């Protein structure tokens, strides 16, 4: 490559992760470290009822007896759980703003830079509005369209607020899909979770707008432990999207979230993620450890949950959005794009547990590895004895860019019902030289060509994203693969 292009590349690499800035804001933090007092501190900050504090403490006691999992195909130095802050909130947001006018201008500016609308725009003809819950470190700083949604009976608020305003719903469903004892990181989350979104869609309601939560880690040395709970009551429909960004820092920061979804009879939930946590630099320094437990219970008959994820960020990703298909005829879907570049590691996939009759699941996973990165698809399809007539279709495609990366596929299939059908297809390919040349001959730069070809490879997943986010996600594909060729 000519010298001029190289310099341009270097300049661009500084701007590659455009969300890497830090907001200078006064924060209220818990003392460093993790112990019962810290948990009491968090619970007190959130003015929580006694039962929730007890639940947290139970989780903490259990966590102390657990071992960090070592089965994922990822490597990282041991995490010092005492060397981190477990609560950090912008001072101005501590009491929770009453209205959007009260939100700290500094925070509004931050979200503007991130391209996230924290104002309630006029409804444009033909465009669906998007309601946003903005979580900044340990607290929600703003939630838009709450009133408009309330008119339909839809509850969309920070989970800390739901604990106060809708305690019965929270008590009934919190931990009902991911129990506090579930796994190392979920248990840690149960002990120290700070904020996240709560959604309840009442019976028969088709949620009138897209709901979304933007998670932002800002403070240094701080973990983010958010908890999201979405309940779709009988016959209701909702589409929800989460986005995530963090500043560029040399240290690794832990993000251990839990997401629980409950779909009752005839309800459906579409849950989309565009995960763009800071991935670390090109030498593998810094970046977020994204250790997340996401699970949906399709409890009702004919219920449906569809997970779509575009995972481009994080130094390490460890997540398996799953569906427990309990209701007869319930449907679970998992559409995933996982892109790793430089030294990123991703071990991601799904679990589809078929319990009910005629349940069906579909898994489309696309892994793209570049640089020296490692990407693993790990999936489990389990057909239980009563899952009469259950079906699964799985397709895993890996695309390798360059010679130093790795792609692995680890599909587990367990069938305990003879009438159940499981289909699995897998491919591994490379971007062909003739494809690159063809694009370049048409004037498309090598980097744009890679983005174009990779987006084509991911098309089946990308088209599942809500339209409002698809364009952004496509751009992200290109950005995260910058510097992977040439």
Binding mask 380-419 for another protein (x = CB under 8 A): ----------------------------------------
Query: By C-beta, is 296 or 462 nearer to another protein?
Result: 462
**Triad 187, 191, 192: Cα angle to 5°:** 120
Q: In 302-420, which ranges are E strands?
A: 304-311, 316-319, 322-325, 331-340, 345-354, 360-369, 374-383, 391-400, 406-415
- CB of residue 457 to another protein, shortest distance in Å: 6
Q: Is 204 helix (H, G, I), strand (E, B) or coil?
A: coil
**Alpha carbon distance, N-terminus to C-terminus of the chain:** 7
What does the alpha-carbon distance between residue 204 and residue 233 come to, in Å, rounded to a whole number? 7
What does the alpha-carbon distance between residue 305 and residue 380 come to, in Å, rounded to a whole number? 17
Query: By C-beta, is 380 or 452 nearer to another protein?
Result: 452
Q: Is 474 helix (H, G, I), strand (E, B) or coil?
A: helix
Alpha-helical segments (H) within 182-280: 184-192
Query: By C-beta, is 28 or 446 nearer to another protein?
Result: 446
- CB of residue 145 to another protein, shortest distance in Å: 29
Q: Which stretch binds another protein (CB under 8 A): 52-60, 197-205, 270-278, 429-437?
A: 429-437
57 binds another protein (CB under 8 A): no
Query: By C-beta, is 132 or 453 nearer to another protein?
Result: 453
Binding mask 438-457 for another protein (x = CB under 8 A): xxxxxxxxx-x---xx-xxx
| Given 6, 18, 460, 475, the residue binding another protein (CB under 8 A) | 460
C-beta of residue 316 within 8 angstroms of C-beta of residue 285: no
- CB of residue 337 to another protein, shortest distance in Å: 12
Query: By C-beta, is 64 or 471 nearer to another protein?
Result: 471
CA nearest 69: which of 197, 187, 168, 230? Answer: 187
- CB of residue 125 to another protein, shortest distance in Å: 17
- CB of residue 485 to another protein, shortest distance in Å: 12
Query: By C-beta, is 247 or 367 nearer to another protein?
Result: 367
The count of residues interacting with another protein (CB under 8 A) is 24
459 binds another protein (CB under 8 A): yes
* Residue found by looking up tokens 């931990």 in the block: 175
| Given 29, 176, 395, 435, the residue binding another protein (CB under 8 A) | 435
- CB of residue 387 to another protein, shortest distance in Å: 33
| Given 432, 467, 471, 475, the residue binding another protein (CB under 8 A) | 432
472 binds another protein (CB under 8 A): no
Q: Which stretch binds another protein (CB under 8 A): 118-126, 170-178, 292-300, 428-436?
A: 428-436
Contacts of 345 (CB under 8 A, 6+ apart): 73, 74, 75, 76, 315, 316, 317, 373, 374, 375
Contacts of 3 (CB under 8 A, 6+ apart): none
Query: By C-beta, is 229 or 431 nearer to another protein?
Result: 431
- CB of residue 372 to another protein, shortest distance in Å: 23
Bridge-based pairing of strands 155-158 and 345-354 is unpaired
CA distances from 85 to 28, 40, 52, 82 (A): 11, 14, 21, 8
Query: By C-beta, is 35 or 427 nearer to another protein?
Result: 427
- CB of residue 320 to another protein, shortest distance in Å: 25
What does the alpha-carbon distance between residue 399 and residue 435 come to, in Å, rounded to a whole number? 14
Torsion angle, alpha carbons of 280, 286, 291, 294, to 10: -40
Query: By C-beta, is 84 or 480 nearer to another protein?
Result: 480
Query: By C-beta, is 65 or 441 nearer to another protein?
Result: 441
458 binds another protein (CB under 8 A): yes
What does the alpha-carbon distance between residue 8 and residue 334 come to, in Å, rounded to a whole number? 38
125 binds another protein (CB under 8 A): no
| Given 51, 76, 412, 437, the residue binding another protein (CB under 8 A) | 437
C-beta of residue 309 within 8 angstroms of C-beta of residue 321: yes
**Triad 350, 351, 357: Cα angle to 5°:** 135
Query: By C-beta, is 419 or 427 nearer to another protein?
Result: 427
Binding region for another protein (CB under 8 A): 2, 432-435, 437-446, 448, 452-453, 455-460
């Amino acid at each position: 490559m000519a010298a001029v292009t190289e310099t341009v590349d270097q300049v661009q690499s500084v701007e590659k992760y455009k969300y890497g800035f830090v907001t200078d804001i006064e924060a209220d933090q818990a003392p460093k470290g993790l112990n019962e007092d810290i948990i009491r501190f968090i619970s007190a900050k959130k003015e929580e009822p006694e039962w929730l504090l007890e639940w947290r403490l139970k989780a903490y006691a259990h966590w102390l007896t657990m071992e960090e999992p070592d089965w994922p195909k990822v490597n990282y130095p041991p995490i010092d759980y005492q060397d981190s802050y477990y609560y950090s909130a912008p001072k101005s947001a501590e009491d929770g703003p009453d209205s959007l006018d009260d939100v700290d201008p500094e925070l509004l500016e931050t979200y503007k830079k991130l391209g996230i609308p924290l104002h309630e725009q006029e409804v444009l003809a033909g465009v669906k509005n998007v309601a946003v819950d903005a979580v900044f470190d340990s607290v929600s700083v703003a939630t838009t369209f709450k009133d408009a949604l309330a008119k339909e009976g839809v509850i969309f608020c920070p989970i800390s607020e739901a604990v106060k305003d809708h305690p019965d719903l929270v008590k009934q469903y919190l931990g009902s899909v991911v129990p506090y004892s579930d796994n190392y990181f979920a248990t840690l989350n149960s002990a120290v979770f700070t904020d996240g979104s709560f959604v309840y869609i009442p019976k028969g309601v088709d949620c009138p707008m897209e709901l979304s939560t933007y998670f932002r880690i800002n403070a240094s040395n701080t973990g983010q432990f958010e908890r999201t709970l979405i309940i779709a009551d009988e016959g209701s429909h909702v589409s929800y999207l989460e986005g995530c960004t963090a500043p560029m820092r040399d240290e690794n920061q832990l993000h251990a979230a839990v997401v629980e979804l409950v779909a009752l009879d005839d309800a459906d939930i579409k849950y989309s993620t565009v995960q763009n946590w800071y991935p670390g630099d090109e030498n593998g320094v810094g970046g977020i450890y994204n250790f997340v437990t996401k699970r949906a219970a399709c409890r009702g008959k004919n219920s449906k949950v569809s997970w779509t994820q575009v995972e481009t960020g994080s130094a390490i990703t460890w997540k398996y959005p799953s569906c427990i298909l309990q209701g007869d005829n319930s449907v679970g879907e998992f559409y995933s794009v996982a892109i790793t570049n430089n030294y990123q590691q991703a071990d991601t996939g799904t679990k589809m547990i078929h319990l009910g009759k005629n349940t069906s699941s579909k898994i489309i996973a696309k892994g793209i590895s570049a640089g020296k990165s490692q990407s693993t698809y790990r999936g489990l399809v389990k057909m239980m004895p009563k899952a009469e007539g259950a079906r699964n279709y799985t397709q895993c495609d890996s695309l390798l860019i360059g010679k130093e990366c790795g792609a692995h596929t680890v599909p587990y299939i367990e069938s305990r019902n003879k009438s159940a059908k499981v289909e699995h297809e897998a491919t591994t390919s490379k971007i062909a030289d003739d494809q690159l040349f063809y694009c370049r001959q048409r004037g498309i730069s090598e980097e744009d060509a890679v983005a174009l070809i990779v987006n084509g490879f991911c098309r089946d997943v990308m088209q599942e994203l809500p339209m409002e986010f698809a364009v952004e996600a496509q751009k992200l594909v290109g950005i995260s693969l910058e510097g992977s060729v040439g």
